Amino acid sequence: MFKKVFKIVLKFLVFSFIFSLVSVISLRWIPPLFTPLMLQRKIEAMFSEKTKSSEIFYDWVAYDEISVSMPLAVVAAEDQNFPVHFGFDFQAIEKALEKNKKSKKVRGASTISQQVAKNVFLWSGRTWVRKGFEVYFTLLIEFFWGKKRILEVYLNVAEMGERVFGVEAAAQKFFKKPAKKLSNEQAALIAAVLPNPLRFKVLAPSNYVLKRKNSILNQMNSLGGTAYLKEIEK
């Protein structure tokens, strides 16, 4: 009986590993049709009395069809060590752990790679099980995709407003222009709402969001401008 159960579990694990590997490798070239979060937002809107529409705004564009300001803005805002780490910023994690010991407000240290792994392959939540899968998929995409593809996927699937996913949808909805034509200030403003795009608004930015936008612009300059990402864009 034990041997039968062991064989079933082993087959399941092998199948899961192969399926995850095939999925990751396929998405190295194929744009995701949707993400779990998009599906979640769609269902929430369908059953919400406050929402008249459940339309998801998502329009994939290639990396080269995005303003050069936008990748730099999200890196400056979310993960400044993105070009040099292999999925995890251990220095940022250590700082977050130290700060969390002294504060009731939990501070995260997820890299852009971790956010992509979570957004594309996993469900929402803070359980250790999900976190473990996040580590696994982060390592896979770092190895099979590379930095440029990770950043391309992030810019296309990140939530940037209410049912707005990706920079092309955000640019069209908020500024009536394609992502290719976003200015430095517009890119920084979109990046400023990323921590909580349902609370913070691009079209009605609070003082906090405006201060954050200005801080991001300063960080973009401090990093050396768009030259900071030249190595990963090759």
Q: E strands within 146-199? A: 159-161, 164-165
Average pLDDT over residues 46-51: 86
> In the chain, pLDDT over 90 holds for what percent of residues?
80
Q: Is the pLDDT assigned to residue 53 strictly greater than 70?
A: yes
Give Cβ neighbours of residue 230 (< 8 Å, ≥ 6 apart).
none
Inter-helix orientation angle 69-78/184-192, to 10° = 30
Q: Is the pLDDT assigned to residue 184 strictly greater than 80?
A: yes
- Give me the domains of the chain, ranges plus CATH numbers: 31-229 (1.10.3810.10)
Confidence grade of residue 106 (pLDDT, cut at 50, 70, 90): low
Cα separations in angstroms, 129 against 6, 122, 167, 225: 21, 11, 30, 38
Output the 3-class SS for 84-124: CCCCCCHHHHHHHHHHHHHCCCCCCCCCHHHHHHHHHHCCC
